[in-house]
Amino acid sequence: MKEKILKIFLILVIFSLSININAETKTHLYVSESIENNTSSFISDDYKLFQNFPNPFNPATIISYKINQSGFVTLKVYNLVGQVVKVLVNDIQESGTYSKQFDASELSAGIYLYKLQINSFTSVKRMTLIK
């Protein structure tokens, strides 16, 4: 039984690490070539999800993000099983930088994931709750 639980735990940890690595390795600078003008211009990403602060945290932390285009924004916190434990934002927002406090006083210690979705952009980061 312990061996089975350990295998499941390791799979979840590897899964969460792969999500975080994929989220952090997104390219943040694109090159747009104009064929008619034969010039190049640089366009930065329109969205950014920052690492929560403090991390690790107990019992609350701040999650910040930046959006350069208005749209429908969702910011959700998940446990490692993939269940939503808290919806922090579920609304249309204008461009700007936002911060949300996440109070985890009723949750158990462990690793949690938070995901920002706006328009076609998605980013996931990991945070650690200690008690």
State residue 46's pLDDT score.
78
Full-model pTM = 0.67
Q: How far is Cα 68 from Cα 101, in angstroms, rounded to an integer?
A: 21
Enclosing H/E stretch for 100: strand 96-103
Res. 40 pLDDT band, cuts 50 70 90: very low
Q: Which CATH architecture has domain 2-129?
A: Sandwich (2.60)
Each residue's pLDDT tens digit, 63-99: 999 999 999 999 999 999 999 999 999 999 999 999 9
Q: How far is Cα 75 from Cα 98, in angstroms, rounded to an integer?
A: 11
The Cα-based distances of 32 to 28, 42, 68, 83, 89 in angstroms read: 13, 6, 18, 39, 32
Max intra-chain CA distance, the chain: 66
Instruction: Provide the residue ranges of all domains of the chain, joining segments of one domain with +.
Output: 2-129
**How high does pLDDT run on average in the chain?**
79
**pLDDT cut 90: percent of the chain above it:** 63
